[in-house]
Amino acid sequence: MAAKPLADQRQLYPFDRFTDHAKELFRLAQVEAEKSGFSYIGTEHLLIACFDNNEFHSAKALASLGISHDEVGAAIDKAIGDKRPAKLSRIIPTSPTKRVIEVAFHLCGSMGDPRVGTNHLLLALATERECIAAHVLKDLGATRERILSELAQLSEPEA
C-alpha cells in the first residue's frame, strides 16, 4: 500500500494538535525536500527546517547549543552523498519521519503540553535513532539531554 501524501494524513496525524510553528516547520520541510529534488520528506528535511524561523523553539535550542544551519546542512550532505531518488509526482514522508511524528505526539503528552511544538519535533528527531537527523544531531553534540536542557530555558510558549 502506497503512503499517503503528508497533506492527506490528517486522519493519521491530527495536525490541528500542532502549534502554528510546528505546522510551519512541516511546510518548510516539504519546501526543502522539493527544492533539493527529493521525492520524500525525510528527517533531514525536518532538521533543516528547524532553523528556518528564529522564533521556533527548535531554532533557539540549536543556536544555544552552538549548532548552525550550515553545519547541519554539510553533515546531511555528507550522510546522503549522491543518493537522490527518482522524482515522484508527489512528495511523501518517509517511515522514519512518520515515527518522528508519533514520538513527538508521545513526548507532547508525557510533558503535559496541549499541542506538539517544534521543541517536541526536535526532541523526537534526537530520539528516533534510526534516522539521518538523529545521527547528525549526535555527531554535532546535540544529545537528547542537552536539547532538553536548552529547551527548559525557554519560558515563553511557542506560537
Q: Tens of pLDDT along the chain (159 residues)? A: 444 444 443 444 577 889 999 999 999 999 999 888 888 899 999 999 999 999 999 999 999 999 999 999 999 989 887 666 556 567 889 999 999 999 999 999 999 999 999 999 999 999 988 899 999 999 999 999 999 999 999 978 887
CATH number of domain containing 45:
1.10.1780.10
Distance CA 26, CA 10 (A): 13
Tell me whether residue 8 is in a domain.
no
Tell me whether residue 159 is in a domain.
no
Tell me whether residue 4 is in a domain.
no
In order of 21, 73, 151, the CA distances from 1 in angstroms are: 31, 32, 38
Q: What's the domain range around 33?
A: 15-152
Tell me whether residue 157 is in a domain.
no
Tell me whether residue 49 is in a domain.
yes
The per-residue pLDDT for 7 is: 46
The per-residue pLDDT for 130 is: 85
The per-residue pLDDT for 48 is: 97
Q: How many domains is the chain built from?
A: 1
Tell me whether residue 131 is in a domain.
yes
- Cβ burial 95-133 (10 Å sphere, 16+ → b, else e): ebbbbbbebbbebbeeeeeebbbbbbbbbbbbbbeebbb
The per-residue pLDDT for 87 is: 60
Tell me whether residue 63 is in a domain.
yes
CB count, 10 Å around CB of 27? Answer: 14
The per-residue pLDDT for 90 is: 75
Tell me whether residue 10 is in a domain.
no
